[in-house]
A and B are shown apart, each in its own frame.
Chain A
Amino acid sequence: MYGTQSKIDLALEYQSQIQILRPSIHSRRANLTVKFQDLYGFTVEGNVDDVNVLNEVREKVRERNRVWWALEASKGANWYLHSTNIGQGGGRALKSSLKLSSLANAITLKRLIRQGIPPVLRPKVWFSLSGAAKKKSTVPESYYDDLTKAVEGKVTAATRQIDHVRTDNNNNVFDIHEIWDWFSDHHLLWGLTLLAWFPLDLPRTFPGHPWLDTAEGHAALRRVLVGYSFRDSDVGYCQGLNYVAALLLLVMKTEEDAFWMLAVLLENVLVNDCYTNNLSGCHVEQRVFKDLLAKKCPRIATHLEAMEFDVSLVATEWFLCLFSKSLPSETTLRVWDVLFYEGAKVIFNVALAIFKMKEDELLLTHHVGEVISVLQRTTHHLFDPDDLLTVAFDKIGSMTSNTISKERKKQEPEVMKELDQRLRRLNSLNVNGK
């Protein structure tokens, strides 16, 4: 397809030639693409090796379960709440007599979290360690219910974007016959009774997922997104959050907990203004990322720069969707395990790791399309989270939240200046154009 073939392409070609000469069960199996469901119900396409990797991951998850249960048995339930927080999540004031044991707990905890929280414990552990529980405890018990009731039926810019209702055909988005036709086409006649409206950005969030892509899933996702848009009107609704909130719903199981996780993520874990107005926070993160790539992976950075390939072309989506659109679900959630405990710097570790893992292949690319295909192939097939996280935390070298904050401060003025200039140019354009 591209002018220069990468090593992988050549290897694949070679492999397929062998297959023609001497077809073996093994080579046929390896090339067979199969569809299967992963741990969180997503349909993935891969070869038999991928299926095997995923089975190994399932086994590792069971092993993690045993480890965590054993710790609960020896240290007591919720032992992890009594650890000095060495990451960025919500810490607790502790009595000095407890300090030593809590520090030991904290060290164990950091290591354990990097090795992965078992999916069954995720809702509980995330909720406490991220600070979501604390955030929730500062408002009345009925906050979420009251919020969803209060916003029901309200129309704002955010709800219009979530529902994809346009102002100019607001009253007649879809008529009943169309809804009927759609459900017939999709063999979902029963859904007709559940839906009074027909939102569009909701079915566009992980379409085909066995729960998210149902009337019930759409309704829950909508309530979380709309609820949040009222909590913070600066963020309102930003595309990208639909994927994040959807995964939170899958993990947390209850809408209310997913809502609080979204709140703590946007208000405490991530850098400010990632999703607001002109995504200025995201622009800052991208610049910091480029600098870090140049420092941590100088050969790749130089090679890509010579090709005039801007890493933001691919990394923007990683930062805004927190990898949920690129990595397999369990791998994404393993990243989030660490994200909620150690903070937003984790996104840099992981993004750098993706490049680092494929250094040799990337250095052989000659074209934008090749770079993107290497990165996409890599991310989509990272079924074993440890492959990625080992590189992210052991091979990138340490980066403290502090250094990253300093980097951000350095980049901020330039980003604001540029965004402002762009806005002014566009405004002058409109004046001249009218």
Chain B
Amino acid sequence: MATIGHNNLNAKLVLLGDMGAGKSSLVLRFVKGQFLEFQESTIGAAFFSQTLAVNDATVKFEIWDTAGQERYHSLAPMYYRGAAAAIIVYDITSTDSFSRAKKWVQELQKQGNPNMVMALAGNKADLEDKRKVTAEEARVYAEENGLFFMETSAKSAANVNEIFYEIAKRLPRAQPAQNPPGMVLVDRPAEGSRAASCCS
């Protein structure tokens, strides 16, 4: 179900980050090539899929774009569980959103799939004159934590496709069978099934 042949890969990808950082805008740019000045706020999460050709393989991303407001974080495990990749998004004009991003990284490191490919996206790179987080600071942080880092702009499209391509390239080609994307979504009351989940 999850991995089809050698050349086709399905990968669950989750976007996490503070509200208004531009998660939905990044997805909209990547999936539809569009940008809206006012993107409807996401409630719960929204699902998208997009296929990329990387070298001789195709990667079909199943993207969960999550809600950013803090109280929604209790829903996040449902979306990142079993994810093969995550993009943690912050807004380069907000130090708060960068701190929030770091918290997401910690949570994923502890609770997420251990083979997860994690990308840090400093979004709104077009707002250079409002910048509060330097690229250098983010790069150092990303290196220390084993993430790859790019500054993106959903508005100008800068680095948007690139970040998804980079993730696609880094995905382990043969996904271990016991850990397919999309696995263990259900948080059932007790009953042993929870023991199989890596992060409930």
Contact = CB atoms under 8 A, between A and B. Distances in A.
Given A161-B69, A368-B182, A204 B40 contact: yes
B47 A313 contact: yes
Contacts, number: 128
Interface stretch (B95-103, B115-123, B157-165): B95-103
A279 B72 contact: yes
Interface in A186-219: 200-201, 203-207
A167 B95 CA distance: 9
Interface in A361-382: 366-369, 372
Contacts of B95: 168
Contacts of B186: 290, 305, 308, 310
Given A161-B19, A308-B182, A369 B74 contact: no
Given A161-B19, A368-B62, A325 B43 contact: yes
A309 B185 contact: yes
Contacts of A414: 189-190
Contacts of B4: 3
- Residue from B71, B95, B184, B187 whose CB has the most chain A CB atoms within 10 Å: B71
Given A182-B37, A206-B40, A308-B183, A239 B72 contact: yes
Contacts of A164: 19-20
A166 interface: yes
B19 A239 contact: yes
Contact of B74 (A3, A205, A238, A422): A422
Contacts of A277: 71
- Residue from A305, A313, A430 whose CB has the most chain B CB atoms within 10 Å: A313
A429 interface: yes
B134 interface: no
B111 interface: yes
A331 interface: no
Given A321-B43, A325-B43, A411-B189, A278 B74 contact: yes
Given A200-B20, A425-B111, A313 B79 contact: yes
A320 B185 contact: no
A430 B104 CA distance: 11
B96 A419 contact: no
A169 B94 contact: yes
Interface string A381-423: 0000000000000000000000000000001001000110010
Given A313-B185, A425-B110, 19 more contacts: A161-B19, A166-B93, A168-B132, A203-B37, A204-B39, A204-B41, A207-B36, A239-B41, A278-B71, A283-B75, A290-B186, A308-B184, A308-B186, A313-B44, A313-B47, A321-B43, A372-B47, A422-B74, A433-B102
7 contacts: A166-B94, A276-B71, A279-B75, A283-B74, A307-B1, A308-B186, A369-B47
5 interchain residue pairs of minimum CB distance: A316-B44, A310-B185, A317-B44, A278-B74, A203-B38
